[in-house]
Chain A
Amino acid sequence: MARNASPARLVIALSVAAVLAVFLLYTSIAGGGNPSVSPSELAGRTGAVQLAGVVVGPVTGDAHAGGLRFKLRDIAAKSTTAVAVRYSGSIPDLFKVGRHIVVNGQLERGTFVAQPNSLITKCPSKYAPKKSTSSA
């Protein structure tokens, strides 16, 4: 707001630049996060992704011994593809067949192997009416 150049202005400009630099530094090192995909988009992907879908039974196995096994299908219900998932670690209270969940991991020989303790459930729809089933 000062119209004449002053050392203070320079300092402000420098600090803004420093903030931007930190930002760029981060994005170049960490390279952003995981892509979020649905089960039908999973085929052929090799890297780590975040998988969001609906739990399809039966749920078998032990999450603390050998892994919990279940399947996930698309929330949008357009496709019927279901991906087998193996998960170990803590299971949120709300986990059960029919729930929307999000889990991180990667596809290994046809099974989605989840990172331990990465499973998140979304709040049940009972809390509010279900008007549309798709969410971005």
Chain B
Amino acid sequence: MPELGRAALLVTLGLSLYALVAGAYAAYHGRRRLARSAQNALVASFVSTAVAALVLLSALLRNDFSFAYVARTTSVALPTPYTISAFWGGQEGSLLLWLLILTGFGAAAVSLNRRWARDLIVWVVPVFAAVATFFSFLVVAVASPFVTQPAPPDGAGMTPSLQNPYMLAHPPLLYLGYVGLTVPFAFAMGALLSGRLDERWLIATRRWTLFAWAALGVGQLLGSHWAYVEVGWGGYYAWDPVENAALMPWLAATAFLHSVMIQEKRGMLKIWNVLLVILAFSLALFGTFLTRSGVVNSIHSFTESSIGPWFLGFIALTVAVSLVVVLRRVPLLRSPTKLESPISREAAFLYNNLLLLALCLAILWGVVYPMLSEAVRGESVVLGRSYYDFFLRAFGLPLLLLMGIGPLIAWRRASLRSLATTFRWPTIVALATGALLLWRGAGSSVPGLVAYTFSAFVITTIVMEFARGTRARKALGATSWFGAFTSLIGRNRRRYGGYVVHAAVVLFAIGVAGSSAFDSVAEAKLVRGESMHIGNYTLVYRSLSEHAGANATEIRATLGVRRGDHDLGTLQAGKNAYTIEQQVSNEVGIRSDKLTGEDLFVIAEQIDPNGTVYFRVFVKPLVNLIWLAGLVFLLGSVITLWPDRREQRRLVARASAVGLPATR
């Protein structure tokens, strides 16, 4: 079996190398049949990678410990779902997953677009193949998942905190996102290399980019939720390099999704868009590198491994080659139109882009600072939480406000008078909200208060947009208000899906502001029967229990919870002691208030043999809005992603109406 896996990967390497060399030659010399054969090789490489993936999967499911990878990441006692998740639990497996998704996406994106964008596709294929060659080389020569050994009686097991349903979805979603960003990159490169710099590469990749971006966003939120309920330190994001690794490409992709609209509507920002795509893809590679190389001190640091230099080399090569290609095409990328006024929708989108990029680069700077300072000053300096928090406020709050302004301001040139009319109500609502909150005592945190005020502004603009659109559709003859509402969204999915995503971002901002700026904490060492207070909650430590679970001993302290005079029942917090893995993990107790979105979060930090427990308790207002935001974000993404034949036909018609050759 391992031989089959190794052979399949070798075939993948051969096929992608062929697709790279033959594809590039065919594109350069205009050989159609050879180009076709390179495309087929790319599709075939997906099949051979899938075979390798099936071999690994079956080895995991059979507990075949003669595979070193299986022995290292699983054990006999590990429940089946987690045995499957061990596929991406270790380095070799996750690289194989990368390759599998990459070849799959490549095959699909090329096949779907080869009819109407043939002259582009011939150049897209070798770009995909180059990335696939790199990853298949890694799994063949550097980090093979098919290394064998004399089978030990049992495997080493899986780190307890990863034995969690979130870990079934969080890593694959991030990979879908990282790899998905390869698609716009390959098409942008294809467009640049072929010199066909019309809008087709944007049309062909819009959904792929959206999908990758949505997967990255949802994947990160799942990771945060996992950290919140499972890791149990009371937070959900720690600005850890590995967390930032996923945030940076997401920010770059967000910037791209916005600026691309300016190119579609006004033909501007072409160079900028290409650069953003390159940045997003490079950051996705860099993210994989950070996660997988262990060069930075991270709480995650899964591995300290040999793939680091290879990755760094490939990233450098990608950036260098892409920039050379862009530079050579600069004359073709000049825009026919230019920015007319600093107060216009174009300008608002540009500010949004600058802020997103500034935030992204500030985070990047923080991530690489320890390495840079080590190289320059001989001393590694780590930038802490306050650094990131500062920039999140400095760039994030204006972004929040812009989210309300951008979609409503006029194209080209907006007059100040029209602005006053458009934003009269949002401004009044925002100021009233701010004043009300100040009166209720929210002044304890200025950034928090500002975030709430801006959020009120944005929500008002979104509600007004939906109301205005629905009224217009009703006037156009929709039978019911509900019908008007749904047809409004159905007829312009991008726009209204986008508003839904904006609403999600506002919910997220409110949740973050509430839980980080207005939270409270208390800690105490309690003997059974004693109680502690936090806010208007009273907690009484009632009892301590111990029982044997499937693969861990579970110790739980039971607390009675009261708020004011209301009895809210009991809450359990404790620890699990995992036998095989010889580790202990915190199992926190969380009580969510469905109505206010507030969490009572209890950690049993230290359990003494005599039954005394040291508790650490948080009250986090509005924190549940963050998870709600995740659902709304998903809804908005699905609305924008939903197949829309009418729109696709219109775009294709427009692209070919400009007099572009559909075939070569």
Report B503-525 residues with CB < 8 Å from chain A CB.
523, 525
- B303 in contact (CB, < 8 A): yes
- Given the known inter-chain contacts A26-B390, A90-B605, please indicate yes or no for A32 contacting B381, CB distance below 8 A: yes
Closest-by-CB residue of B relative to A14 is B342
Most buried by B among A32, A33, A131: A33
Report A48-105 residues with CB < 8 Å from chain B CB.
50, 52, 62-65, 90-94, 102
Residues of A contacting B295 in the complex (Cβ-Cβ under 8 angstroms) = 135-136
1/0 per residue A123-136: CB within 8 Å of B?
A: 11111111111111
Report B376-420 residues with CB < 8 Å from chain A CB.
379-384, 386-387, 390-391, 394-395
Residues of A contacting B605 in the complex (Cβ-Cβ under 8 angstroms) = 63-64, 90-91
- B91 in contact (CB, < 8 A): yes
Judge whether A2 and B161 touch: CB under 8 Å: no
Size of the B side of the interface (Cβ < 8 Å), in residues, is 76
Judge whether B342 and A8 touch: CB under 8 Å: yes
- B371 in contact (CB, < 8 A): yes
Judge whether B338 and A8 touch: CB under 8 Å: yes
A29 to chain B, nearest CB (A): 9
Judge whether A8 and B161 touch: CB under 8 Å: no
Residues of A contacting B374 in the complex (Cβ-Cβ under 8 angstroms) = 136
Judge whether B387 and A135 touch: CB under 8 Å: no
A132–B306 Cα gap in the complex (Å)?
Answer: 8
A23 to chain B, nearest CB (A): 7
Q: Is the interface of B mostly helix, strand, loop or mixed?
A: mixed
Judge whether A64 and B72 touch: CB under 8 Å: no
Judge whether B159 and A123 touch: CB under 8 Å: yes
- B294 in contact (CB, < 8 A): yes
- A111 in contact (CB, < 8 A): no
- B369 in contact (CB, < 8 A): yes
Q: Select B89's contact among A16, A22, A92, A127, beta carbons within 8 Å.
A: A127
- B40 in contact (CB, < 8 A): no
A37–B374 Cα gap in the complex (Å)?
Answer: 11
- B603 in contact (CB, < 8 A): yes
- B302 in contact (CB, < 8 A): yes
- B268 in contact (CB, < 8 A): yes
A12 to chain B, nearest CB (A): 7
Q: Select B301's contact among A35, A133, A135, beta carbons within 8 Å.
A: A135
Judge whether B304 and A11 touch: CB under 8 Å: no
A37–B339 Cα gap in the complex (Å)?
Answer: 50
- A44 in contact (CB, < 8 A): no
Q: Select B299's contact among A91, A122, A128, beta carbons within 8 Å.
A: A122
Judge whether A127 and B525 touch: CB under 8 Å: no
- B76 in contact (CB, < 8 A): no
- B614 in contact (CB, < 8 A): yes
Judge whether A12 and B299 touch: CB under 8 Å: no
A68–B233 Cα gap in the complex (Å)?
Answer: 18
Closest-by-CB residue of B relative to A95 is B584
A30–B586 Cα gap in the complex (Å)?
Answer: 34
Q: Select A11's contact among B347, B384, B390, B584, beta carbons within 8 Å.
A: B347
Closest-by-CB residue of A relative to B301 is A122
Judge whether A36 and B381 touch: CB under 8 Å: yes
B46 to chain A, nearest CB (A): 27
Q: Select B382's contact among A1, A33, A125, beta carbons within 8 Å.
A: A33
Closest-by-CB residue of A relative to B94 is A128
Report A1-32 residues with CB < 8 Å from chain B CB.
1-2, 4, 6-12, 15-16, 19, 22-23, 26, 30, 32
- Given the known inter-chain contacts A9-B339, A34-B384, A122-B299, please indicate yes or no for A133 contacting B304, CB distance below 8 A: yes
A64–B395 Cα gap in the complex (Å)?
Answer: 38
- A40 in contact (CB, < 8 A): no
A46 to chain B, nearest CB (A): 15
Judge whether A126 and B159 touch: CB under 8 Å: yes
- Given the known inter-chain contacts A26-B390, A123-B302, A128-B72, please indicate yes or no for A36 contacting B382, CB distance below 8 A: yes
A4–B391 Cα gap in the complex (Å)?
Answer: 33
Judge whether A34 and B381 touch: CB under 8 Å: yes
Residues of A contacting B358 in the complex (Cβ-Cβ under 8 angstroms) = 19
- B271 in contact (CB, < 8 A): yes
B332 to chain A, nearest CB (A): 12
- B207 in contact (CB, < 8 A): no
Residues of B contacting A15 in the complex (Cβ-Cβ under 8 angstroms) = 351, 354
Can you report 18 A-B residue pairs in the complex whose CB atoms are below 8 A from each other?
A6-B339, A19-B355, A19-B358, A26-B390, A30-B390, A33-B369, A36-B381, A102-B297, A120-B299, A126-B581, A129-B72, A130-B304, A131-B304, A132-B304, A132-B306, A135-B304, A136-B296, A136-B374
Interface residues of chain A, those whose CB is within 8 Å of chain B, are 1-2, 4, 6-12, 15-16, 19, 22-23, 26, 30, 32-37, 50, 52, 62-65, 90-94, 102, 120-136
Other than the given A12-B350, A129-B72, 12 more pairs (CB < 8 A) read A1-B335, A6-B339, A22-B391, A30-B387, A35-B381, A36-B382, A64-B525, A90-B233, A92-B233, A123-B301, A124-B159, A127-B303
